[in-house]
Chains A and B, each alone.
Chain A
Amino acid sequence: MRILVIEDDANVAGFVAKGLREAGHVVDVADNGKDGLFLATTEAYDALVLDRMLPQVDGLTVLRTLRASGSAVPVLLLSALGEVDDRVQGLRAGGDDYLTKPFAFVELLARIEVLARRPRAGAAAETVLRVADLELDLLARSVRRAGHAIELQPREFRLLEYLMRHAGQVVTRTMLLEAVWDYHFDPQTNVIDVHVSRLRGKLDKSHPRPLIHTVRGAGYRLADDGA
């Protein structure tokens, strides 16, 4: 994927670009809002990493200008401000996700990949999600694996839905909490792990090929490959 990083802190920009390149992406870096806006409007990117505080033209202005010009490129906002108001403000300006500095690189990578591979608006809405022999029917609210029905609690259903929508991608614990519980907060303990392991118990029990994988140091991945 082609990713544009607009960040004036050379340290952060360097380590983000290096990490993304190592993950197999093509990365451009702009160190101010003006250059960043120019690149974003003239080149085609799959995703943007945009710092809020930038010299010349600030991040939110870049974002608003970009959206006003009709660009729907997914944008991950970076900010040193972590307060909820800032978050809401950023998302309202057209940001797709928000990450507070300092962050772990795996968190940024997981988020940017989920963003970039998100189905574009207008794509036919799926009503049944399938991964290997696992099937999730969004209309009937039912789940079957290898033809056998699996009983899930509503929250487990949403958890599985999120994992299946991003099958093959790494999702972090924070992403799961935000997507499934719709709250942005710092859990003091790994409560989410308990939920995932429950779900895993119901899904992968008595099946030789596990579908939910733990990604060390990052989060979870639902896939059929066992990697």
Chain B
Amino acid sequence: MALEARRGLGGLLRSTVLRFTLGYLLLFALSAALLLAWLYWSVTDYLEQQSEDVIAAEVQGLAEQYRARGLNGLVGVLRERSGEGGDPEAVYLLTDPRLLPIAGNLSQWPVGAEVRDDWIDFARVREPLGAVPVRARVFALGGGFRLLVGREFLQLARTERLIRRAFFWALLGAVVLGGIGGMLFARAVARRIERVNQTARRIREGDLSQRVPRDGSGDEFDRLAQELNAMLARIQALMDGVRHVGDSLAHDMRMPLTRVRNRLEALREALPRDAPAQVEVQACLADADQMLATFAALLRIARLEAGGAGTPTATVDLAGVVEDALDLYRVPGEEAGIAFEAALSPASVAGDRDLLFQMVANLLDNALKFAPSGSSVQVQAQSEAGKVRLVVSDRGAGVPAAERERVFDRFYRVERSRHAPGSGLGLALVKAVVEHHRGTVWLEDAAPGLRIVAEFPASGD
């Protein structure tokens, strides 16, 4: 079916579940990004704060040295601190009023750095690390001398890089894992929904006894299945009720109708042969007989559907039954200008010969009704690959594709046959008999004409 084919990639993309999953994934990635961003800001802020605190402490120390020992003392301390044993991340520079270095571990006033009493940021080159960011504080000492005290932000830069990398991997991981998870989730959900769809499809095709399979987990899908099944059970009960009313009506009407029929017969016998009322009574009798026949057929179908006729066990040669039925219908066929052409080979089915004869008779009767005069009707019965097939094709007007399922319904009649004689139960009875024999029956386009195919499981012997 087309429905099946649509369940490929296209179907997956159209799936609500997948869209939901993608949306969820986006939200997930966004929240991961927010979390990492917050982490980034707080960590860098903390590190910056720490560096500034260290610088502030150092400045404090240097200020004391300056106050106690003057400029020379400061130079001494700076030389000592920026020497071999000093902190490699610490940055010092003391300049004269022309910004020429006096002491410290910077060779010149940093390029681009402002000359003001404030925090400044710049980069210095330190092998083997290359350009390293530095944060520093500048102080104006007396006489135009300036002191720059700072720290490399190496730790901060590393942390930043680490967090940025973590950010990238986390996002990638979220997308990949979320994508796979979402796909699996979408497929699991789609599979469970598809089970509901399948059930619905089978029900639409006519099997109202189908139920959505449950897994007993009690989750939302299980509860949905439970509710749907309860609804289906209710619908089936209602439909059975309607059918039951129809069938019991047919049953209950039969007795009084038979009495009416018998009284009419007595009335006809009592009337003089040439009484004008004879015609009327005869017409009433014919109507009563028609109604009784309809009721009888209706009850027969009902009983077959209810399985009341027992399971067929005898082995019957369907070809022989067809042969006998043709024997009965060839003569009426000749009268109507319709020739039956048979292709029969032994075909055993487990069944009931009277019911099978009824089925074949109804099919032949149907063909006689709809085949144009002068045409032929093909009848085939044969067994092939464990199946027994009965095919009746005529060259009549056929049945429009849209109506091919419905012609098997009780009282359903194709528009153009509405004026043909018959009760509208012939094919319903055929279907009931076929299904009683565990077979299937369908209509095909014989182009032109109608082909009715009934298929049964072949009998073992």
Interface residues of A (CB under 8 A from B): 11, 15, 19, 82-85, 101-106, 155, 177, 181-189, 191-192, 194-195, 198, 216-217
Contacts and interface: CB of A to CB of B under 8 A. Distances in A.
A155 B323 CA distance: 12
Top 6 closest pairs, chain A to chain B, by CB: A102-B258, A185-B358, A183-B357, A194-B332, A184-B354, A188-B365
Contacts of B210: none
A102 B292 contact: yes
Contacts of A181: 324, 327-328
B423 A188 contact: yes
Interface in B385-430: 421-423, 426
13 contacts: A11-B259, A82-B299, A82-B303, A84-B309, A84-B355, A105-B262, A183-B357, A185-B355, A185-B357, A186-B296, A189-B365, A191-B361, A217-B265
Given A185-B358, A187-B361, A217 B268 contact: yes
A172 B358 CA distance: 18
B352 interface: yes
Contacts of A189: 332, 365, 368, 421
B255 interface: yes
B361 A185 contact: yes
B328 A104 contact: no
A85 B311 CA distance: 10
Contact of A191 (B309, B328, B421): B328
Given A15-B259, A102-B258, A186-B358, A84 B352 contact: yes
B12 interface: no
B187 interface: no
Given A181-B324, A186-B296, A191-B361, 15 more contacts: A82-B296, A82-B303, A85-B309, A101-B258, A102-B258, A104-B258, A105-B265, A106-B265, A181-B328, A183-B357, A185-B361, A186-B293, A186-B297, A188-B422, A189-B365
A188 B268 contact: no
A50 B64 CA distance: 136
Contacts of A15: 259, 262
B300 interface: yes
- Looking at B254, B255, B293, the one whose CB has the most chain A CB atoms below 10 A away is B255
B305 to A, nearest CB: 13
A141 B297 CA distance: 38
Contacts of A101: 255, 258
B353 interface: yes
Nearest to B262: A105
Contacts of A195: 328, 331
A183 B324 contact: yes
Given A83-B303, A184-B354, A185-B358, A104 B262 contact: yes
Nearest to A184: B354
Nearest to A155: B327
Interface residues of B, number: 43
A19 B262 CA distance: 10
Contact of A188 (B292, B331, B354, B426): B426
B421 A217 contact: no
Contacts of A105: 262, 265
Nearest to B286: A217
B362 to A, nearest CB: 6
B300 A188 contact: no
Contacts of A198: 331
Given A183-B353, A195-B331, A217-B285, A104 B261 contact: yes
B215 interface: no
Interface string B326-368: 0111011001000000000000000011110110011001001
B130 interface: no
A105 to B, nearest CB: 5
B366 to A, nearest CB: 8
Contacts of B299: 82
Contacts of B422: 188
B8 interface: no
Interface in B297-314: 297, 299-300, 303, 308-310
Nearest to B292: A102
A104 B255 CA distance: 11
A11 B328 CA distance: 37
Contacts of A106: 265
B296 A104 contact: no
Contacts of B310: 83, 85
A180 to B, nearest CB: 9
Nearest to B288: A104
Given A188-B423, A195-B331, A84 B354 contact: yes
Contacts of B368: 189
A19 B357 CA distance: 33
Contacts of B261: 104
Nearest to A12: B255
Interface in B215-255: 254-255
Nearest to B256: A102
A82 B300 contact: yes
A53 to B, nearest CB: 14
A189 B366 CA distance: 10
Given A155-B327, A181-B328, A189-B421, A102 B254 contact: yes
Contacts of B365: 187-189, 191
B174 to A, nearest CB: 70
A191 B329 contact: yes
A19 B269 CA distance: 12
B257 interface: yes
B354 A183 contact: yes
A103 B258 contact: yes
A219 B285 CA distance: 14
Contacts of B357: 183, 185
B310 to A, nearest CB: 5
A92 to B, nearest CB: 14
Nearest to B263: A15
A102 B257 contact: yes
A24 to B, nearest CB: 13
Contacts of B259: 11, 15
A60 to B, nearest CB: 17
A83 B257 contact: no
A83 B309 contact: yes
